[in-house]
Structures are given as structure tokens and as C-alpha cells.
């Protein structure tokens, strides 16, 4: 990869910083920002400098490492700072599951009473954040390798939203699958759903595919049925925000419509993501609450008003694709095929 | 109606002008422009001051009337001017079927050798353009009345693109059906597909529904599956650009995806339009050529770049919804039900 959504690296003063690509500027500009305190990292998460659930988890982990490295020398005071930093980071985007998960993991490690000095705490915090980073990357690679046999050569692939290195801070999930196939020498072309309202496909996925040298075509979300009717599409692959025990998949709004088009044209539809998104405690997609996002994402584009003043809009962030529309769910643990109730339980058995 | 996409009315100098709403400014501004020569009318069609196939036909008719009224007094010279005006207007948007149809009708009337004076030619041109206008409005009203029994009270209706008075210059087709049901006292609420790339739903349909006092909710095109999964939708109704002999319907890109969502959730899907869009010479939707529009409609929104520089995009203007997904096709001549090959032939029999 030639770019990193987030990195732990030395800053201008030689001390470590958290360096992030400002994703709000992609594709116009590739600009990185260096963060030296946890409050600014929390603000970056809140303001969507970084987005994508796994990438947000990484940012929280590194944010806490920053609090440790730059915090007071007294271990008691440092522990207090860390607790405060974790609370601030957690509040940045309260609905992001990975954010809480990464912070809990960091705090569990740092609660070890054997970490008696500030240096010991600092070292443990940095090591743990880097471990999350490394495991995250490995997970993405395992997803890509598990999916590899499902991608034919000369594949015409349909993709929705953004699931690349920008979204995971690693190798990407669905886009990682595509990238891996490309790197292994398979010819691929990607149809990129632009993904209204936030246009993550048109802005981020198109940019990432350019970086990877993979040919692609951006299309409005409403065009997938037409494209599938008039061209040979080999498969669709998307990410997942939550997978229910029965295989229903919650993902970015528009995923279900793409799955319906795929289904009408016999195109296999895959969802790829870390096994942490498989939630066996959620029986079906009907049990997944759907976040409603601010109306401004619909009423305005790049600050320009689209709808009339006073127009009522609905902005559901996710939809649920019923298990029956999915050919497989791909995780780092392996590939689950229908019937998903059995295959997912088996896959998650060792959890 | 409180507004007219296009009107023939006295201008500031007392002489007739063609007055059009500048639809490029909706919903930000409701501004009308007065045209006093046919070349400016042709430019208005080309620059999309006015759009929508029937409205373009009206503009062409009135543009030719303008050439007659404002043209030279010598009948021979005037006939020459009219021929030139027709050619200029015809070239404004060469793919719009109604434009050519309206011009051919005007020219046929004006070719009458009995029209021996400039005044006779002028009077005939204005009368013919006004006849097209009146028939157009009547056709829209007949469509609305024919569809009326299909709209239940308290209907939750899904709509795509723009099919209102702005698009037809009359009462509207699919949106006219909704408006008529509302005027007759039925409670309706409309889900408005925003309709990327040109956002005719978010911009124009939302504005028209506001003018009509009909409650509505604008949603991204990708949300229809989710909305139908989570809410009771009674029907979808859209316009049509061309209907094949077998009932396949070509309409604005995104229509087919909406039909697939409707089909998955048992929601009846209707297409409404004048019988002139039924083309029995086109056997199936596969025989309908799909216009590809400029990439800038995808890469930019309101002049702001969305996709990365150099990104490849596809911008099909229309898609084809297979007859099997349609519950009925509504025209001013009546309602055609499946099997459409028989019902459309019967409906068009008297043509």
C-alpha cells in the first residue's frame, strides 16, 4: 500500500504522533494530519477525518497510546489521564462498535498492576495499540485469501460504499479481496456504486482503486439493475456492519438494492468482514437497529442545497440484506455458505 | 396549478412571448424568462431551462408560433423563416421524440396553401401550438382519472424522477395521478427517490409536491429496498419514456431498481404516460437504445467535483423495466394490464 489511513510514527519533534489521512479531502487532496494529543484524536474521529469502523478502532487505540506517551510521569496521574482519555475517545462516535472494543482492550491491558511505572504503562499502551493494528491487517489479509477462490479471472465485480484501506486502516475487507485478486495477477474491473448520500464509492473507493491501479467505473446507485441486465457481472462483494445469526447482513444503505439486482440476474452476492461483525446474539436482521443520520447528508451535497427549503427527508445509514440473497459470508476464520444459521455457528464455534 | 412550466402570454411590449420557468434554478428560485425569438427558445431547450419530453414538445410548438408572430410580413419570407425556425428547434435536443412530433404537426398545419397571408399563417401557428398545449393537458388529466381507482385512500406512494407539470407542461403524468388523487380528497404521502445523477426527484418533484401541499419524504435511490422492508408501501408509480409492444418500459435510470424492490415486497408497480410513448414497432425493451449522457453529471454535483480526476464513469440515462415487474401501464386511452402484448395492442388499436 502506498498510503495509510492511520500510522504511529515520529513527528516533527521526534516524539511519536498519530498521523492520519484527512479523508474529508479525498479525492481532491491527499493530506495527512499529525496528532499529538488524545483530545484532537477524539475530535478527528467525531469530525470524520477518519471513518470506517475498524479504522476508528485503531484511532482510539493509538489515541490512548498518545495519552500515555505524552501524559504525566507520575504513574498514578498517568492512569487518571488514561481513564479520562478513554472516556473522551469513547464519546467521539458512541455508536461505533470497534471504538469501544479497542478501548476496552487497551484498558484491560493497562489495568495490569505489574505496570508500576509511567514508562511501563507507556510501553504497554504503544505495544497494545500496535498489536491491534497488526492483527487488524492480518485479519484483512486472511479475509482476502479466504475469498480468493471465489474471484474468477477477468472478473467484472460490483462493489458498494467503501471498504478499502481507508475504511479499515489495514488492507480493506471487500475492497481488500478485490485488491488481493489483482495483486495475485487476476484481471478485474470494478463497478463502483457511488453510494449516496455520503458518496463513499465515488469519492473514496474510486480514489483507492486508482491508487491500486485497478480499472473501475463509477455509476449512480440506481444503475445496477441496468448494468446487470446489459453486461456480464461475475459477482458483487460488499462489507458488513453487523451479521445476524441467520446470515442477514446489515451494511451501508443501498446494499440491499444491489443485492436485489444481483438476485434478479443470477449474480452471486458476497459480504466480507471480520468475524467480530458476526453477532450470534442477534437472531435476525429484523433485530438490528438502523441508525438514522442527519438530514443534511441528503439535503446538501458539498455544502450546496439540493432539496427545497423545508423538505422532509429520511436518511437511514444502513439496510438489511436478507440471508436468502447472499451466496456467502467471508471472514478471516473462513467462508460461511447457506444455510447460514449452521455455517456461521460453526465458524464462530471457536470464538 | 399555481405555476406553468411554459405559457404563451403577452410580454412587456404587449406582443406575445413564450414564458418559461427556469427549471435549472428550482428549488432555489422560481424565476420565469420571457422569450421573444425562436433561437432563444431553441437555446432554452438545449440548456435545459425546460426539460421533460412533453414540455419540450410544447416549447418547440410555441417557439415556432413565436417565429410566425415575430417574423416578416411577406408570406413567402415568413414561410422561409418558419422552415428555418423548425430546423433550429429540431436540432436543440435531437433525441427528444416529442420535439420532432410537435414540429411535424405544426409544419403540416402551416403547409396548408389556403394560409395565403402572414396573418393567416400567424393565426394558424398560434392556434395549433395552443391546441397541442390543450390536448397535452387533457391527456394528463385523462391519465390521472384512469389511474384514480388504483390509488387507495391513505396511500403511501413511491415515485421516481420528475413527472409533474414541470416535465409535461400540463398536469403531469405519474405525479399528476398523485396530485389528482390528493385533489379528490384521498390522503397520500409520497416517497421521492432523489434520482441521481440529475436529482430531478430531490430538486423538482420535492418542489412540486410542496406547491401541491402533498406530504413527502425525499430518500436516496438506494434506500427503496430498506423503506419497503420496514414500512407499508401501497404502490409505486413512475413515468415512461418508451413502452415496447410487450410492455417493457424504458424510463429514467433507477426505475428498474425501484421495480425490483417493489417486486421483492409485493408492491404493485405502475407506469403512467401518454399513449404516444407506446411504440408497438419496438418488440421488447432489448430493442430500445439507451442514451449515454455526459460523465460530468456523475463526476460533479452543482459544479463541485465528486470523483477523483480521471475517474471513469458510466451515465446511462434510462433503464428498462421488464413487463413482468409491472402491475399496469396507464395511458389517457385506458389502463393496460398483463399480458401486455394483448392489452397494449387492444389499447392502441384505435390509433
Q: What is the pLDDT of residues B253-292, one digit of tens each?
A: 999 999 999 999 999 999 999 998 899 999 999 999 888 8
Q: Find the mean pLDDT for residues A219-245.
A: 97
Residue A206: how many other CB atoms lie within 10 Å: 28
CA–centroid distance for A183 within its chain: 21
3-class state of residue B250 by DSSP: strand
User: Is 90 exceeded by the pLDDT of residue A350?
Assistant: no
A319 CA: distance to closest CA in chain B (Å): 5
Per-residue pLDDT band for A155 (boundaries 50, 70, 90) equals very high
Interatomic CA distance for residues B6 and B177, integer angstroms: 20
**DSSP E strand boundaries for chain A:** 6-10, 16-21, 32-35, 155-159, 188-193, 216-219, 235-238, 242-244, 249-252, 269-272, 278-279, 300-301, 304-305, 318-321, 328-331, 334-336
User: What pLDDT is stored for residue B303 in this prediction?
Assistant: 87
The mean pLDDT value of chain B amounts to: 95
User: Is 60 exceeded by the pLDDT of residue B351?
Assistant: no
User: What pLDDT is stored for residue A94 in this prediction?
Assistant: 67
| Peptide bond just before B287 cis, omega within 30 deg | no
The mean pLDDT value of chain A amounts to: 95
User: What pLDDT is stored for residue B256 in this prediction?
Assistant: 98
Q: To the nearest whole percent, how much of chain A has pLDDT over 90? A: 89
Among B67, B66, B102, B65, smallest CA distance to B84 is for B67
3-class state of residue B64 by DSSP: helix
Report how far apart, in Å, the C-alpha atoms of A17 and of each of A9, A35, A51, A106, A164 are: 6, 6, 19, 18, 23
- Residue of B206, B298, B315 with shortest CB distance to A311: B206
Question: CATH classification of A6-141, choosing from 1.20.950.20, 3.40.50.2300, 1.10.10.350, 1.20.120.420?
Answer: 1.20.120.420
Q: To the nearest whole percent, how much of chain A has pLDDT over 70? A: 98
- Residue of A199, A224, A254 with shortest CB distance to B306: A199
Report how far apart, in Å, the C-alpha atoms of A170 and of each of B23, B176, B308 are: 46, 52, 22
Catalytic site includes residue B193: no
Q: To the nearest whole percent, how much of chain B has pLDDT over 70? A: 98
Per-residue pLDDT band for A97 (boundaries 50, 70, 90) equals confident
- Residue of B191, B222, B299 with shortest CB distance to A254: B222
The interface predicted TM-score of the complex, written ipTM, equals 0.93
User: What pLDDT is stored for residue B291 in this prediction?
Assistant: 85
B256/A229 CB distance under 8 A? yes
Among B52, B31, B54, B35, smallest CA distance to B44 is for B35
Catalytic residue among A142, A193, A241, A248: A241
Q: What are the cell numbers at B261?
A: 424492490
Give the start-to-end residue ranges of the domains of chain B.
Answer: 6-141, 144-348
B206/A308 CB distance under 8 A? yes
Alpha helices in A14-52 (DSSP H): 38-46
Q: Which H or E element spans position B192?
A: strand B188-193
Q: To the nearest whole percent, how much of chain B has pLDDT over 90? A: 89
What pairs with residue B192 in β-bridges? Answer: B159, B218
Report how far apart, in Å, the C-alpha atoms of B38 and of each of B45, B92, B106 are: 11, 11, 14
User: What pLDDT is stored for residue A71 in this prediction?
Assistant: 95
Interatomic CA distance for residues B150 and B142, integer angstroms: 14
B257/A261 CB distance under 8 A? yes
User: What pLDDT is stored for residue B302 in this prediction?
Assistant: 84
Q: What is the CATH number of domain B144-348?
A: 3.40.50.10470
Q: Which H or E element spans position B82?
A: helix B75-90
**pLDDT tens digits for range B2-23:** 799 999 999 998 899 999 999 9
Residues of A in contact with B216 (CB under 8 A): 311-312
- Residue of B28, B202, B254 with shortest CB distance to A222: B254
Q: Which H or E element spans position B167?
A: helix B165-168
Among B173, B318, B321, B317, smallest CA distance to B249 is for B321
Per-residue pLDDT band for B165 (boundaries 50, 70, 90) equals very high
Provide the pairing of β-strand B188-193 with B155-159. Answer: parallel
Per-residue pLDDT band for A95 (boundaries 50, 70, 90) equals low
B234 CA: distance to closest CA in chain A (Å): 18
Q: What are the cell numbers at B342?
A: 394483448
User: Is 60 exceeded by the pLDDT of residue B306?
Assistant: yes
B251 CA: distance to closest CA in chain A (Å): 11
Nearest CA in chain A to B192: A313
Residue B192 and residue B216 in contact, taking contact as beta carbons nearer than 8 Å: yes
User: What pLDDT is stored for residue B95 in this prediction?
Assistant: 67
Q: Find the mean pLDDT for residues A269-279.
A: 93
Residue A242 and residue A300 in contact, taking contact as beta carbons nearer than 8 Å: no
Among B18, B90, B78, B23, smallest CA distance to B51 is for B23
Of the residues B206, B255, B257, B325, the best mutation for testing chain A's interface (the one with the most A CB atoms within 10 Å of its CB) is: B257
Angle at B155 between CA B150 and CA B161, to 5 degrees: 85
User: What pLDDT is stored for residue A1 in this prediction?
Assistant: 60
Of the residues A162, A198, A225, the best mutation for testing chain B's interface (the one with the most B CB atoms within 10 Å of its CB) is: A225
Q: Find the mean pLDDT for residues A170-196.
A: 98
User: Is 80 exceeded by the pLDDT of residue B94?
Assistant: no
Per-residue pLDDT band for B179 (boundaries 50, 70, 90) equals very high
A319/B217 CB distance under 8 A? no
Amino acid at each position: 500500500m502506498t498510503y495509510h489511513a492511520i500510522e504511529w510514527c515520529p513527528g516533527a519533534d521526534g516524539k511519536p504522533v498519530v498521523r492520519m489521512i484527512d479523508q474529508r479531502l479525498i479525492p481532491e487532496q491527499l493530506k495527512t494530519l499529525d496528532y499529538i494529543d488524545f483530545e484532537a484524536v477524539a475530535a478527528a474521529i467525531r469530525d470524520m477525518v477518519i471513518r470506517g469502523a475498524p479504522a476508528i478502532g485503531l484511532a482510539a487505540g493509538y489515541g490512548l497510546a498518545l495519552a500515555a506517551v505524552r501524559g504525566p510521569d507520575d504513574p498514578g496521574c498517568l492512569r487518571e489521564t488514561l481513564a479520562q482519555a478513554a472516556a473522551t475517545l469513547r464519546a467521539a462516535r458512541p455508536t461505533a462498535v470497534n471504538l469501544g472494543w479497542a478501548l476496552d482492550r487497551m484498558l484491560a491491558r493497562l489495568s495490569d498492576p505489574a505496570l508500576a511505572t509511567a514508562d511501563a504503562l507507556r510501553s504497554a499502551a504503544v505495544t497494545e495499540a500496535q498489536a491491534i493494528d497488526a492483527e487488524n491487517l492480518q485479519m484483512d489479509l486472511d479475509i482476502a485469501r479466504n475469498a480468493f477462490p471465489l474471484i474468477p479471472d477477468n472478473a467484472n465485480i460490483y462493489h458498494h460504499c467503501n471498504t478499502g484501506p481507508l475504511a479499515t486502516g489495514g488492507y480493506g475487507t471487500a475492497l481488500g479481496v478485490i485488491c488481493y485478486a489483482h495483486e495475485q495477477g487476476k484481471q478485474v474491473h470494478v463497478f463502483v456504486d457511488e453510494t449516496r448520500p455520503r458518496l463513499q464509492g465515488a469519492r473514496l473507493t474510486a480514489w483507492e482503486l486508482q491508487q491500486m491501479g485497478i480499472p473501475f467505473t463509477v455509476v449512480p446507485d440506481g444503475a445496477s439493475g441496468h448494468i446487470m441486465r446489459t453486461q456480464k457481472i461475475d459477482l458483487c462483494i460488499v462489507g458488513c456492519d453487523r451479521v445476524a445469526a441467520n446470515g442477514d447482513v446489515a451494511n451501508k444503505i443501498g446494499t440491499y438494492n444491489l443485492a436485489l439486482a444481483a438476485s434478479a440476474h443470477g449474480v452471486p452476492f458476497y459480504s466480507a468482514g471480520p468475524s467480530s461483525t458476526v453477532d450470534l446474539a442477534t437472531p435476525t436482521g429484523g433485530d438490528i437497529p438502523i441508525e438514522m443520520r442527519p438530514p443534511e447528508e441528503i439535503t446538501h451535497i458539498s455544502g450546496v442545497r439540493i432539496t427545497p427549503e423545508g423538505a422532509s427527508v429520511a436518511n437511514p445509514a444502513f439496510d438489511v440484506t436478507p440471508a436468502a440473497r447472499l451466496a456467502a459470508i467471508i471472514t478471516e476464520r473462513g467462508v460461511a455458505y447457506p444455510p447460514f444459521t449452521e455455517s456461521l455457528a460453526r465458524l464462530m464455534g471457536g470464538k
